[in-house]
Copies of this chain bind each other. A is one copy, B any other.
Amino acid sequence: MNELFLGIDIGGTTVNMGVVTPEGRVLVEKKNPSVVHQGVEFVLARIAETVEKCRDIVGSDRSIVAAGVGVAGLVDGKNGLLHQATNFPGWLDVPLTAKLADLLKLPVTMDNDANVAALGEYTFGAGRGFPHMMMVTLGTGVGAGLILGGQIYRGAHGAAGEFGHITIDVNGPRCACGRAGCVEAYVGSNGILRRLRELLSQFPDSSLARYDFGTLTPKEIHQEARAGDELAQLVFHDAGESLGYGLGTVVNLLDIQRIVLGGGVAAAGDFLIKSAQKILDRVALSESDNFKIVQAELGELAGIVGAASLAMSLK
């Protein structure tokens, strides 16, 4: 096989690009700053230049046959339209795949970053061999991509996968979206900090007491949890339980086999997963060896490898 695939991950800060083998190995990796204010044509021209450099590095005996694009936003993959991009305020209804196909002289396909990450983990990562799975990205928000029957599931209007905004407690705390008791209100960064504030008075000796809560991140809470701080551990334990209830809903509704956790907060997976799996085992109707929560495997390469696996689906 001399065919190679291009993965393009358009983020708010950088555009990550890579040339990927059919086995999911990244041969070349390149980064551009996103230069959001310069507009679509400029960003795409920079991508095209960088792809030329990648082609030079790869050499002439292997050729790139298709490109996949992942972007945070509302994507109409079927028609190749980027309706709205989270990090690019001016990009509205951009025919991104047609423009890129023209510049790169390649077939191009596109999807939102959550779906692309899920496909990457399914094809080459922690979801391999499990055609019914969900990849959950934990960060400020809680995003998800669904793979059902071995394919990205997008729903009727491309809006599927809003796992962060399913309700686990109609009387629960307010979510950033305005609703009550969403998964994100417990498992998103702000939900984790809210829980920390609730519990702090019970743990006056916690090492977390000396942090400035205005700038504290889940990463630091995780460090303290690893160092043995009880409060930090409890905060992740509780977030994991809420995550487990949300996942129970998904398992009961969709009978999925794997839940892959990625994103910043998922780094605390050692504390999160244990309590999440315990709740999931309890609330799922199916036998507990039918499903499992695991950490993502692709790490920083997820965007590139995922986008490349999307390109492979064109073949």
| A214 in contact (CB, < 8 A) | no
Which of A153-182 touch B at CB < 8 Å? 153-163, 165-171, 177, 179, 181
A118 to chain B, nearest CB (A): 13
A179 — which chain B residues lie within 8 A by C-beta?
Answer: 282-283
Instruction: Say yes or no: A132 contacts B155, CB within 8 Å.
Output: yes
Give complex CA distance A119, B20 in Å: 41
Picked from B154, B170, B177, B250, the residue with its CB within 8 Å of the CB of A253 is: B250
Q: Which B residues are in CB contact (< 8 Å) with A257? A: 156
**Residues from chain B with Cβ under 8 Å of A160 in the complex:** 253-255
**Interchain CB contact under 8 A, A165 and B252:** yes
Contacts of A162 in B (CB 8 A): 252-253, 285
- Decide if B168 touches A255 in the complex (CB within 8 Å): no
Does A79 sit at the interface, judged by CB under 8 A?
no
Is the CB of A63 closer than 8 A to any CB of chain B? no
A249 contacts chain B at the CB level, 8 A cutoff: yes
**Are the CB atoms of B249 and A157 closer together than 8 Å?**
no
Contact A157 B250 (CB under 8 A): no
**A238 → B minimal CB distance (Å):** 11
Task: Across the interface, name the chain B residue whose C-beta is closest to A134.
Answer: B253
A285 proximity list for chain B (CB < 8 A): 159, 162, 165, 177
CA distance A162 to B250 in the complex (A): 9
Tell me, yes or no, whether A256 is within 8 Å of chain B by CB: yes
Which residue of B159, B166, B177, B250 is within 8 Å of A286 (Cβ)? Answer: B159
Contacts of A248 in B (CB 8 A): 166-167
Contact B132–A156 (Cβ < 8 Å): yes
Is A245 close to B, CB under 8 A? Answer: yes
List B contacts of A263 (CB < 8 A): none
Q: Do B167 and A249 have beta carbons less than 8 Å apart?
A: yes
Beyond A163-B252, A169-B171, 11 additional pairs, beta carbon < 8 A: A131-B156, A157-B290, A162-B252, A163-B253, A165-B285, A166-B249, A166-B253, A169-B170, A169-B181, A170-B242, A249-B253
A residues neighboring B (CB under 8 Å): 130-132, 146, 148-149, 153-163, 165-171, 177, 179, 181, 242, 245, 248-250, 252-257, 282-283, 285-286, 290
Q: List 23 A-B contacts (CB under 8 A).
A: A132-B156, A146-B254, A148-B153, A154-B255, A155-B256, A156-B255, A157-B255, A158-B255, A159-B255, A159-B286, A160-B254, A162-B252, A162-B253, A163-B253, A165-B252, A165-B283, A165-B285, A166-B248, A167-B249, A168-B170, A169-B171, A170-B242, A249-B253
